[in-house]
Structure 1
């Protein structure tokens, strides 16, 4: 029994390890974007709403269901025949069918309105998709660059930690003062703080990816995109504003308002109801039949239907103004993002090409001087901390550039290969 229990426990542990290995994944950028779209409840809700509106549009083209009408008419309530069903000649059991006829034009206009609303919802789903792709790409790039920062910080920390043995030996030999060991430990503690903050950024990026994809993305796979330059030239990006999902959504809203206006323009066309009935009377009295027509009378069209149509026309004009406003706002947004990207790119290149080579060269020079006894340990530690700070500053500038690049790249949702 004990052996069986032990085997079961070992099997459970092994299964847990396998499951953890499966859940913890390294994904490429394309795989991560696809996982985010599959996981998004908002995208799924939009698709279901579009399907519902399409079904409603198909139903709107049909005539209403016929109605069955039945009952008893003309039952006496006074006199000798009070509440008797067979004494009065006018009393009869009546059954009939009623059908409402709505003009085909009105039904088509209503269906067109629902289809326009479906297109508007579909355009909003493109807004959601573009935002989702942008956020996912930014989180993926953050993870990639944060992992790079952790590796750099750990490498510099390890190089400094290797100095401890030599420093203690120097103190023992009398070539260095005892406080130099304390100075080294203080410097190492400060560098470990930098490593901890870099590791925190990795965990934050992993948490963000878990939120967006529902998967434990612990590492990135594949090549990084070429975020060191704009996705396209400025003129091409400006031309793409017309396909921006917010602009497309505003255009769909304008089309929906136009469709409602077209439907209200013919609201005064009267609907017709037709009722065919058969009445069965008591024995000795003839059965009866009849047909009835009910027609709408829009006698006050100027106070009702015309007012509704005028309101819809005003809403159409409002939607057109909002479309123009959306185009202007997103053109300004594009120019702002390009300005932010250019600034981030300049800062990153200056940090990479000017600052980092200088601080590295200074650290190398001070290390050589320290070995030859021409400089003190605090100066060397300060130089190495400067190298670490500059490396992390360059990494942060690179992150800002990559985030802004992703914001420009996914202004418009992209089809995944």
Structure 2
């Protein structure tokens, strides 16, 4: 009985699985959080930065080690004339030599090289944080632009519906003798203008998706879903977090790297040395020999060799300090300007929602009622409707600019400062 059940159940299960697989794939809406997650996982520039950090870590391992020893092989005092020419064991001075030589950079130089390599790892990590900020901010900006276009496209469906209602109203007015036959053209003209604006939206949607696709790949083709992001705008907190901006935080490891390079240049004033040990084999009737040799660098001309290098490294350090001061001023200016812009946009959004939209709606309704009563001409209705359409589109534009500004503030001074 069990085997029979298995034989009859398996085809049924297979058919169910096949039917499920045959269903069309329903794409999940693309939320802002999902877009940011995809950017964190898939952005090529972040993958490149991760490999750069790994390369710096690997390069730091041998930075302070001694150079590899050298194997020495050779023949010394090989005769090329006289009765013993061309022989290796007849002349007492001829020796077959094998040896090893080890260079010994001074300790300060090796420590400085290790410090340079360690600082380079920190610099690579800081550059990775900068790139992550850029990727997440750019992803958010692209998603917001795509979301704004989607809202406008949805709004245009309502505009077209209202346009059809206007056309019906005009036809009724013409039929009742309260409007001129030429008025029938006006709704068609308005529809053509809506078509032209919608063409611009199609172009904007393609541009927004292309920008988003740069960071998250094919998922950018999905329909954006959700609401306008609501990041808290904390002016005192942002001002406090200014010093922690990744671009400013990256100056610290760059400064340590520059200081280590100064120490490395100063270490060139101290002598490096090397040792060499050789074993020299001679003919059987002569005794073998061993040689030991030490070599020392002589930094005798620092004014034309070491000192200019030290001065160059110190100038690089001074450059970094000046660049940090310039960055602090630049980011302070940007932060204050963006905060002021956000406050302006916030006031504009409230004014549009609380005043401009209700007034434009009321004006449109009153003008249309007057037209239906035969007390107003169609041009007034069209003008009022145009204002109503522009105000509703303007509302989305203001909300978009407000969201874009808050994204720039949040990712630069909010999330980055956490």
Task: Tell me the TM-score normalised to structure 2 length.
Answer: 0.88
Asked whether the equivalents of residues 141 and 404 of structure 2 are also in contact (C-alpha less than 8 Å), the reply is: yes
Q: 1:33 to 1:370 in 2, by over 3 A?
A: same
- Is 1:61 aligned to 2:64, yes or no? yes
Listed as ranges, the matches of 1:111-130 within 5 Å are 111-130=114-133
Secondary structure, counterpart of 1:88 in structure 2 = coil
Matched, 1:392 2:393: yes
Correspondence for 1:364: 365
Equivalent residue for 1:8? Answer: none
Q: Matches of 2:339 and 2:149 in 1, distance apart? A: 24
| Offset of residue 223 of structure 1 | 4.3
- What corresponds to 1:224 in structure 2? 228
**Matched-pair contact (CA < 8 Å) for 1:94–1:279:** yes
Tell me how far apart the structure 1 counterparts of residues 129 and 413 of structure 2 sit (CA, whole Å). 8
* Superposition deviation, residue 412 in structure 1: 4.3
- 1:242-253 correspondence to structure 2 within 5 Å: 242-253=243-254
Residue 102 of structure 2 is matched in structure 1 by 99
Mapped partners of 1:329, 1:223: distance in 2: 32
Measure, in 1, the Cα distance between the counterparts of 2:75 and 2:273: 25
Partners of 1:97 and 1:275 within 8 A in 2: yes
The alpha-carbon deviation at position 260 of structure 1 amounts to 0.9
Question: Partner of 1:324 in structure 2?
Answer: 325
- Give the gaps of 5 or more residues in structure 2: 1-19
- 2:144 corresponds to which of 141, 146, 151: 141
Match of 2:289 in 1: 288
Number of equivalences: 401
Rounded Cα–Cα distance in structure 1 between residues aligned with 2:359 and 2:168: 28
Residue 8 of structure 2 is aligned to residue 35 of structure 1? no
Any conservation in 2 of the 1:168–1:181 contact (CA below 8 Å)? yes
**What's the TM-score once normalised by structure 1's chain length?**
0.88
Secondary structure in structure 1 of the residue aligned to 2:62: helix
Tell me which residue corresponds to 2:10: none
Query: Quick one: which of 79, 82, 92 aligns to 2:85?
Result: 82
SS of the aligned residue for 1:290 comes to strand
> 1:66·1:97 contact (CA, 8 Å) conserved in 2?
yes
1:354 is aligned to 2:355 = yes
| Alpha-carbon distance in 1 for matches of 2:246, 2:119 | 16
Structure 1 runs not aligned, ≥5 long: 1-13
1:194 aligns with 2:200: no
CA offsets per residue over residues 346-385 of structure 1, 9 Å max, x none?
Answer: 3333333222221111001112222222222232222112
User: CA offset at residue 58 of structure 1?
Assistant: 1.5
CA distance in 2, matches of 1:63, 1:269: 16
Distance 2:365 2:110 in 1: 82
**Hey, what's the Cα distance between the residues in 2 that align with 1:16 and 1:87?**
91
C-alpha distance in 2 between matches for 1:223 and 1:387: 23
| Deviation sequence 1:299-355 (CA, Å, 0-9, x none) | 223432233223222222221121122111111111121122222223333333222
Q: Cα RMSD (Å) of the superposition?
A: 2.7
For the 8 Å contact 2:89–2:282, the answer to whether it is kept is yes
User: Using the alignment, how far apart are the partners of 1:212 and 1:16 within structure 2?
Assistant: 31
